[in-house]
C-alpha cells in the first residue's frame, strides 16, 4: 500500500486544521473517524498541494483525498495504541533535509515561503507533522508485514496466477565490466586552487567581500545558487573531513582553513549550530585534470586493450593490476546496480557515458577507452568497458527474472495484509461521512454501510 501521497496530504491538512483553530473559525466537517474530524479545508488544501506537486490522483480528488486522510488517522491511532514513538532528533533531521531540498529546488528561502504562502517556521512545523505521521504509518505497516517471506513455491504460485496481460515487461538489460584510470592532478593545479581559496577567505575575513556573493560567482558546487548554503545537516551526513572542521567553527564572520574532501577543496563559513546539526555555507573548487594527463591515460588503457585482444591476458585478469575503480577493483570489474544489488542494468541506470558506449556493442566486445565523469566525485577519469551480457526486453519469466517476481509477490502479499487490516479497522471504528461526501467509489470497503443510519454506523463514537 503506497502512503507517500496521503502523508503529504495529511500534513497540509493538519496545518489547515491548526490555523482554523487558532483563528476560532467554525470549520465544515466532511468526515468523522472516531473522535477525529476531517475538515473540508484540510481536503481543499491537500488537493491544492497535490496539484502544485503534480501528484497523480487516481479518481475524484474529493473522494480519494478524504479517504487517504481517514486511513492515515487509523494508522496513527494504532501507533498510539502500540506506544510507537519517533525520536524528535530523527524527525528534525529529516525536516532539515526536506527544507534543504525545497530551497535547492526553488532557489531561495523566500521562494519557498511564496510557494507555500506562509513563513518558513510554519512550513517547518507542517513538515514536522507530515514526517512524524509518515514514520508512524511506516512503523505500523512494517509491524503488520514483518513476517512476509516468500518461498520458491509461493513465488511460482503467484506467477502462475498472474493473467498474461499482468505479467510485467522487463526492458532490455545489460551486464557490464569496467576498468578505470584516475589521472593524477598536477601539483601546480592544486596549488592554484588553494591560492584562489585563500584569497577568497582573506577577502571575507577582512570584510572586503561577502562569502555568499563569492560562492555564487565561483563555487563549483550546486549550492552556489544559494550562496553556498547547505542547510542544517547532521555530522553523519557530511564528509568526515568537512564535518571535523565545520563543527569546530564558532565565529560566523570568519572563514575556515582549506578543507580537502573527495569532492575537491573547500572553505567554510558557519551560519548556525543547533545541537548535533549545523548550517554552513562553503565554496568548492575542483582541481582539473590536464588534457595531457587524460590523453596519457587513454593511451595506457588502449595499450591494455590491444594486449587483451592479442590474448596475452583477459579483461578480468587485468582489472586488479590496472583498474583504479574502488567499487569493481576486487570483483574482476563487474559493475553492480546499487538500486537492486544485481549485476543487471537498464540503460538509463548506467552512467551516461557507459550507456552511450555499450549501446552498439556486441556481447563479449571490449570498448575503446573513453573519458567520463566519475559519478561520485564529478571529476574526469578514463574508462574501458566490456559488455558481458545483453538481455532483450521481454515479459518476465521465472528463469530470468526470479528476483523481480519474488519482489512483486512480497509487495502484493504486504498490500493484502495492510488492506485487510484497514478494512477490519474501519469496521471497528466509528465513521460518519457527511452529506455530499458519500457518493464515492472508495478504495476500501466498509466506510458506508448500506441501510444503516450514518449517525449510528460503525460503532459508537469514542
Instruction: Domains for the chain: give ranges and CATH numbers.
Output: 4-146+429-456 (1.10.4030.10), 173-184+290-394 (3.10.50.40), 187-285 (3.10.50.40)
CB atoms within 10 A of CB 120: 15
Angstrom distance (rounded) from CA 15 to CA 124: 11
Angstrom distance (rounded) from CA 109 to CA 397: 49
With a CB cutoff of 8 Å and minimum separation 6, the contacts of 231 are 96, 97, 99, 100, 103, 279
What's the start-to-end Cα distance of the chain, in Å? 27
Angstrom distance (rounded) from CA 452 to CA 459: 11
Are the beta carbons of 77 and 105 closer than 8 angstroms?
no
DSSP 248: T
Smallest Cα–Cα separation from 1: which of 438, 431, 421?
Answer: 421
Angstrom distance (rounded) from CA 34 to CA 431: 6
List, in sequence order, every beta strand (DSSP E) within 182-250: 229-234
Smallest Cα–Cα separation from 13: which of 41, 51, 52, 50?
Answer: 41
Are the beta carbons of 169 and 370 closer than 8 angstroms?
no
Apex 22 CA angle, 19 and 24, nearest 5 = 110
The cell for 31 is 468526515
With a CB cutoff of 8 Å and minimum separation 6, the contacts of 131 are 11, 91, 94, 95, 98
Written as tens digits, the pLDDT of the chain (462 aa) is 333 333 333 333 444 444 444 444 467 999 999 999 999 988 988 887 777 667 888 899 999 999 999 999 999 999 999 999 998 888 888 888 888 888 877 777 888 888 878 898 888 888 898 899 999 999 999 999 999 999 999 999 999 999 999 999 999 999 999 999 999 888 999 999 999 999 999 999 999 999 999 999 999 998 898 899 998 888 888 999 999 999 999 999 999 999 999 899 999 999 999 888 899 999 999 999 989 999 999 999 999 999 999 999 999 999 999 999 988 989 999 999 988 888 999 999 999 999 999 999 999 999 999 999 987 777 899 999 999 999 999 999 999 899 899 999 999 999 999 999 999 999 999 999 999 999 999 999 999 875 554 554 555 444
Angstrom distance (rounded) from CA 415 to CA 408: 10
Helix and strand element counts for the chain (H, E): 14, 13
Q: What pLDDT, on the 0 to 100 scale, is given for residue 114?
A: 87
Three-state secondary structure call for residue 441:
coil
Are the beta carbons of 30 and 434 closer than 8 angstroms?
yes
Q: What pLDDT, on the 0 to 100 scale, is given for residue 15?
A: 43
Q: What is the DSSP string of 210-245?
A: -HHHHHHHH--SGGGGGTTEEEEEEGGGS-HHHHHH
Q: What is the DSSP string of 42-111?
A: HHHHHHHHHHHTT----S-HHHHHHHHHHHHHHHHHHHHHTT----HHHHHHHHHHHHHHHHHHHSSHHH
Three-state secondary structure call for residue 337:
strand
Angstrom distance (rounded) from CA 342 to CA 364: 19
Angstrom distance (rounded) from CA 82 to CA 140: 9
Amino acid at each position: 500500500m503506497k502512503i507517500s501521497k496521503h502523508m503529504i496530504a495529511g500534513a497540509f491538512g493538519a496545518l489547515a486544521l491548526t490555523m482554523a483553530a487558532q483563528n476560532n473559525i467554525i470549520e465544515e466537517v466532511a468526515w468523522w473517524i472516531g473522535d477525529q474530524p476531517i475538515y473540508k479545508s484540510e481536503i481543499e488544501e491537500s488537493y491544492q498541494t497535490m496539484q502544485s506537486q503534480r501528484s497523480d490522483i487516481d479518481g475524484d480528488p474529493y473522494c480519494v483525498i478524504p479517504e487517504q486522510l481517514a486511513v492515515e488517522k487509523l494508522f496513527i491511532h494504532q501507533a498510539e495504541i502500540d506506544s510507537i514513538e519517533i525520536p524528535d532528533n530523527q524527525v528534525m533531521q529529516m525536516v532539515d533535509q526536506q527544507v534543504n531540498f525545497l530551497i535547492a529546488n526553488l532557489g531561495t528561502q523566500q521562494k519557498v515561503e511564496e510557494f507555500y504562502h506562509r513563513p518558513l517556521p510554519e512550513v517547518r512545523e507542517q513538515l514536522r507533522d507530515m514526517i512524524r505521521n509518515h514514520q508512524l504509518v511506516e512503523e505500523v505497516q512494517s509491524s503488520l508485514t514483518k513476517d512476509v517471506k516468500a518461498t520458491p513455491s509461493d513465488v511460482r504460485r503467484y506467477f502462475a496466477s498472474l493473467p498474461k496481460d499482468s505479467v510485467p515487461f522487463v526492458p532490455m538489460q545489460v551486464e557490464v565490466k569496467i576498468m578505470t584510470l584516475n589521472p593524477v592532478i598536477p601539483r601546480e593545479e592544486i596549488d592554484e586552487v588553494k591560492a584562489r581559496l585563500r584569497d577568497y577567505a582573506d577577502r571575507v575575513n577582512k570584510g572586503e567581500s561577502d562569502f555568499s556573493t563569492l560562492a555564487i560567482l565561483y563555487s563549483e558546487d550546486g549550492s552556489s545558487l544559494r550562496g553556498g548554503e547547505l542547510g542544517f545537516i547532521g555530522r553523519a551526513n557530511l564528509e568526515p573531513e568537512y564535518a571535523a572542521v565545520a563543527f569546530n567553527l564558532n565565529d560566523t564572520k570568519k572563514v575556515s582553513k582549506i578543507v580537502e574532501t573527495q569532492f575537491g577543496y573547500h572553505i567554510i563559513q558557519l551560519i548556525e549550530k543547533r545541537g548535533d546539526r549545523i548550517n554552513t555555507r562553503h565554496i568548492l573548487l575542483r582541481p582539473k585534470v590536464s588534457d595531457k594527463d587524460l590523453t596519457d591515460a587513454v593511451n595506457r588503457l588502449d595499450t591494455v586493450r590491444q594486449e587483451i585482444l592479442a590474448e596475452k591476458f583477459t579483461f578480468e585478469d587485468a582489472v586488479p593490476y590496472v583498474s583504479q575503480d574502488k567499487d569493481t577493483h576486487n570483483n574482476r570489474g563487474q559493475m553492480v546496480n546499487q538500486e537492486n544489488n544485481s549485476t543487471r542494468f537498464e540503460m538509463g541506470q548506467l552512467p551516461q557515458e557507459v550507456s552511450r558506449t555499450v549501446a552498439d556493442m556486441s556481447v563479449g566486445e571490449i570498448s575503446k577507452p573513453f573519458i567520463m565523469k566519475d559519478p561520485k566525485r564529478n571529476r574526469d577519469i578514463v574508462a574501458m568497458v566490456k559488455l558481458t551480457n545483453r538481455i532483450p526486453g521481454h515479459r518476465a519469466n521465472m528463469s530470468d527474472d526470479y528476483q523481480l517476481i519474488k519482489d512483486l509477490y512480497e509487495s502484493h502479499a504486504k498490500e493484502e495484509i495492510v488492506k485487510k487490516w484497514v478494512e477490519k479497522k474501519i469496521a471497528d471504528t466509528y465513521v460518519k461521512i457527511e452529506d455530499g461526501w458519500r457518493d464515492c467509489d472508495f478504495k476500501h470497503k466498509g466506510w458506508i454501510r448500506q441501510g444503516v443510519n450514518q449517525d449510528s454506523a460503525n460503532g459508537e463514537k469514542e
